Structure 1
């Protein structure tokens, strides 16, 4: 699971950095850029999800003291809030992208 999390994290970073480092023509902003953004945001969301699962698995393996469980729950709270805040944005972006592609093509 650690390797899968690392692969998703690096893939999302590479995908989002490829947007900044490449030169786009004006026509690319309608086709290539939205698809790269969608892939990058999706990989970022799944990277966050798999890192939480990996962290939780290590917690469950090494759960020896009761106070550590409380500490880990507190540590997961900001990550969960961030994921809940970003998921509607990603879902709306994908929905708008589908509407755009079906109306243009």
Structure 2
């Protein structure tokens, strides 16, 4: 699942930079942190650093909804991914980070 998510992130923003932080958590940057991809036994949690500030018209965010800043999507093995909506969230997060 993490491989699928990584490919979608790179497709949404070819200029995004991936680094591994915090004991092996992939973290994607473009003008600041865009999101992380934490792996757990049953989910890959993709946490958007400024997710609360992003429009989510397709309702992808399904975790960490109570926070003031972050929002996350828990992907389970075999889940269908709305690729267009996910890539739109990535692009919106980059636009938020790079807004002058």
When normalised by structure 2's length, the TM-score is 0.33
Higher normalized contact order (CA 8 Å, seq sep 6+, divided by chain length): 1
Structure (1 or 2) with the greater helix fraction: 1
Larger Rg: 1
